Amino acid sequence: MSDGTQYSVGFVGIGLIGGSLARALKNSGFASSVSAWDRDADALEQALKLGIIDTASGSVAALMQTVNIAVLATPTIACESLIIDMLKEPGIAQCITDVASVKGDLYRRVVDAAPAGAAIYVPGHPIAGSERSGVAASDAALFEHHRVILTPDSNTDPLALGLVQKMWAAAGATVQCMGVEEHDNVLAATSHLPHVLAYALVDALAQSPIRDDIFRFAAGGFRDFTRIASSDPVMWRDISLANRDALLSSLDGFCDHLNTLRSFIAARDGEALENIFRSSKSARDEFARDLAMRERGET
Ligand SMILES: NC(=O)c1ccc[n+]([C@@H]2O[C@H](COP(=O)([O-])OP(=O)(O)OC[C@H]3O[C@@H](n4cnc5c(N)ncnc54)[C@H](O)[C@@H]3O)[C@@H](O)[C@H]2O)c1
Ligand SMILES: O=C(O)C(=O)C[C@]1(C(=O)O)C=C[C@@H](O)C=C1
């Protein structure tokens, strides 16, 4: 529960995720002021115009002079050098956090490059998003009833960790901590693999000689399975490469499973197929029930 203390929050990168968090923190009263720096001047102008930020900073260094909490919300590939810059000149920031979808590689490199400052760095990842990008797509309710994973370690400053937990709670999220490796393995399976599969399916069908018919007759099932193939290709290129090992392992396990299923179809083994579909339906139904409860705030 909020104790009413307000913080000055600064964002490096004000797109879908940065913009959504900025909106949520303003609405909840957690942020006394919100500032941002983005390499795209149009994104900053739009954020100002939409009232998502109060001030556009001229540089990362200038931003860090004025904020209690600094949030890095740029594409994964840009995070390493920006976090290191932020940690080397933290200004008045009590904590620095990020929202990147892959944690292990980034954290190890940051700790190697800036060991002294790394204690106030609390790596984070909201498990909520959309196939859309940019500040105009931001949504104050994006994180409500969603989980946020933080990956602190024994070096992390408890005060910095507490502040980041409080910030996400103010945005309506439930915070959970885990190690970077566990995070990257779980997310490879639940997020990165499904995105690769959706892109692969659409690409395979788009290359088909009967492509026009396929897209003409595709409907709800195809739409639901492939929504995430409309996500930003550059973001997903970065994520796939940043989490390469865990993603390869998930992909290999999945390919084996798919081949088993293929062999049942080839062998006309209806019983084996039905068993897989039955157990899959039961797992999916249970997940859907849990998700609905979470979205109603019941868990
Ligand atoms: N989109 C999702 O569903 C989702 C969910 C959870 C986490 N994430 C992670 O959040 C981060 C941001 O994703 P997003 O969807 O908000 O992307 P986005 O494209 O909507 O926003 C990124 C912003 O960062 C800016 N930017 C890019 N490079 C920069 C640089 N070098 N310096 C300063 N600003 C720079 C861009 O101009 C843009 O405004 C990514 O690391 C992504 O992996 C995304
Ligand atoms: O809902 C979507 O469109 C998303 O892709 C969100 C999603 C996910 O895979 O669930 C994508 C990337 C993130 O790092 C976290 C969440």
Q: pLDDT of 186-228, one tens digit each? A: 999 999 999 999 999 999 999 999 999 988 999 999 999 999 9
User: CB within 8 A of 74, min separation 6: which ones?
Assistant: 12, 13, 15, 82
Closest CA to 35 of 13, 17, 16, 20: 13
Nearest ligand 1 atom to the CA of 137 is 20
* pLDDT attached to residue 1: 53
Asked if residues 226 and 198 have their Cβ atoms less than 8 Å apart, the reply is: yes
Q: How much of the chain, in percent, has pLDDT values that exceed 70?
A: 99
Q: How many CA atoms lie within 13 A of 56 on its CB side?
A: 16
Complex ipTM > 0.85: yes
**13 Cβ below 6 A of ligand 1:** yes
pLDDT at 2 over 90: no
- Look at phi and psi of residue 96 and say left if phi exceeds 0, alpha if psi is from -120 to 50, else beta: beta
Mean pLDDT of the chain: 95
Asked if residues 171 and 24 have their Cβ atoms less than 8 Å apart, the reply is: yes
Measured over the CA atoms of residue 206, residue 207, residue 213 and residue 217, the dihedral's sign is negative
Nearest ligand 2 atom to the CA of 195 is 9
* pLDDT attached to residue 181: 97
Residue 100 sits at the vertex; the CA angle it makes with 241 and 21, to the nearest 5 degrees, is 150
- Angle in degrees, 0-180, between the axes of helices 104-113 and 180-187, rounded to the nearest 10: 150
Report the separation in Å between the CA atom of 251 and the middle of ligand 2, taken as the mean of its atom positions: 18
pLDDT category of residue 21 using cuts at 50, 70 and 90 = very high
Nearest ligand 2 atom to the CA of 227 is 3
**174 Cβ below 6 A of ligand 2:** no
pTM comes to 0.96
Domains of the chain: 7-177 (3.40.50.720), 183-267 (1.10.3660.10)
Please state the rounded mean pLDDT for residues 33-57: 98
Q: Whose CA is nearest to atom 14 of ligand 2?
A: 101
